Amino acid sequence: MARRIIYILLFLVSIPAIASGAERIDSVAHRIKNNVHNYLHDSVPARLSNKIPENKSWIKQLVDNRFNVMDTTLKCPRFVEMCLDVYRWGDHTFNSYDSSYVYSCPQKWKVMIKANTKWDMYDFDARNGSPSLFINTEPRTSAGFRLSFMAVGFEYMPDIDNLLSGRVIDHRRTRFSFTCSRIVAELYYNKNTGTSRINKFGSYEDGRFVNVKFDGLTSKTFGIDAFYVFNHKKYAHAAAYCFSKIQRRSAGSFILGVQYTNQKLSLDTSKLPEDLKPYNPWPNENFSFHFYDYAINVGYGYNWVFRNNWLFNVTAMPSVGVKHCVDDTFDGPTNKLALNIRGRFALVRNAGKFFYGLHASFNGYTSWGKSYWFYNQIGDVTAIAGFRF
């Protein structure tokens, strides 16, 4: 009994000390909390650190903040905040640069006017006495504008040839691309059933260059290309092709990627001009190539920065892989070696918020068998002028 009374007295005596210790712990915790808050507060640029009224919706906050999703003071619903955190992590991990080499433009919007000319060419060389064939599609020109916000954009470019000639040329070209510091990916689709020109057809005109109109060519190409940039801190692919970055110092990088292509080419020889038909050795009226390519790209890209904010880029990506020809290919289903190449060129100038330049690109594909060698190429040139805001 006496022992219990002693324990109770000791507990009562220790209460002031416990209370005093709790006050000190609470004081320390409060100071730590204030230090963390001040650190986070000071880490945000002064223009973003203004207190946001709590009654303002998160959408209104974004609008007032010019859609700066990197602002950590935004008050958002939990799911939106989670999405923004994922975006900020991804931007820091996959889209960061060495600021002494690459400048990230703060503007989120871009508007530009564009004019584009595109063409296809096909070269078929026979080895068994059959005629060689060289065809070029007539260049097609389109012009229009593009409005983009960050990675999302809208583009309208009507075909000038259709507008001027009054006739419909069925040519379609669709392209979607994604670019960050480490990864560049592109999905594209091309279709052409417009007028072509036969420049060589076996022994016609003794094998000399000719220029004969031909409406029997149909080609379709669907492809996906993606590659990784090794020197992603110093080399900015986006500086040459997206206008969202500015390359401050010359730099280059090795590139490694993958390529998938589905391509079909058909020639309707019944539409050959009458004076060429006697030189046609193919018994069937439809002559076609249809293949799938699965390849690996290995290449190099270089940004050369020279006087007055000019930039010249050259990117070359040869590829090697497997070419799978399907049943409707003229020499039957088979698997072959795929040797392809892709090249891109850019000449760009930045003048403050304004920019302008020229882009050129080509995709080349090869195929061969015991009796032939075939090469086709898709190319285009684009003139661009615009500004950021």
Distance of CA 249 to the CA centre of its chain: 22
Q: 158 and 280 in one domain?
A: yes
3-class SS at 34? helix
Q: 150 and 14 in one domain?
A: no
Q: 314 and 207 in one domain?
A: yes
Instruction: Of 71-75, 88-92, 100-104, 201-205, give the range with the top mean pLDDT.
Output: 100-104
Q: Would you state the pLDDT for residue 3?
A: 44
Instruction: Of 62-71, 198-207, 299-308, give the range with the top mean pLDDT.
Output: 299-308
pLDDT of 32-84, one tens digit each?
445 434 433 444 443 444 444 556 777 777 777 766 777 777 778 888 888 87
If one counts the domains in the chain, the total is: 3
Question: Which pair of tokens denotes residue 264?
Answer: 């079909």
Q: Would you state the pLDDT for residue 33?
A: 44
Q: 68 and 185 in one domain?
A: no
List 298's β-bridge partners, or say none: 256
pTM listed for this prediction: 0.75
Q: 146 and 54 in one domain?
A: no
Q: Is 316 exposed, middle or buried (0-12, 13-18, 19+ CB in 10 A)?
A: middle
Q: Is 376 exposed, middle or buried (0-12, 13-18, 19+ CB in 10 A)?
A: buried
Range scoring the smallest mean pLDDT among 119-128, 332-341, 346-355, 376-385: 119-128
Q: 267 and 336 in one domain?
A: yes
Q: Would you state the pLDDT for residue 27?
A: 52
Place of tokens 């060429």: 276
Q: 230 and 206 in one domain?
A: yes
Nearest 5°: the CA angle 107, 113, 115 is 140
Q: Is the pLDDT of residue 15 over 50?
A: no
Q: Would you state the pLDDT for residue 151?
A: 66
Q: 75 and 59 in one domain?
A: yes
Nearest to 95 by CA among 180, 183, 185: 180
Nearest 5°: the CA angle 25, 29, 33 is 170
Domain span holding position 267: 102-388
Q: What is the CATH number of the domain that holds 152?
A: 2.40.128
Q: Would you state the pLDDT for residue 170?
A: 62
Q: 153 and 84 in one domain?
A: no
pLDDT of 317-332, one tens digit each?
999 999 998 887 777 7
Nearest to 273 by CA among 208, 205, 212: 212
Q: How far is CA 313 from CA 26, 269, 303, 361, 378, in A?
A: 60, 41, 5, 11, 20
Confidence bin at 12 (pLDDT 50/70/90): very low
Q: Is the pLDDT of residue 169 over 60?
A: no
Print burial letters for 94-118: b (CB count within 10 Å at least 16), e (below 16): ebebbeebbebbeeeebebebebbb
25 versus 156: which is more confidently predicted?
156
Q: Would you state the pLDDT for residue 171?
A: 66
Q: 81 and 20 in one domain?
A: no
Average pLDDT, integer, range 162-176: 66
Round to whole Å and give the CA distance between 223 and 229: 20
Q: Is the pLDDT of residue 214 over 80?
A: yes
Q: 275 and 255 in one domain?
A: yes
Q: 219 and 89 in one domain?
A: no
Other CB atoms closer than 10 Å to residue 322's CB: what's the count?
Answer: 13
Confidence bin at 339 (pLDDT 50/70/90): very high
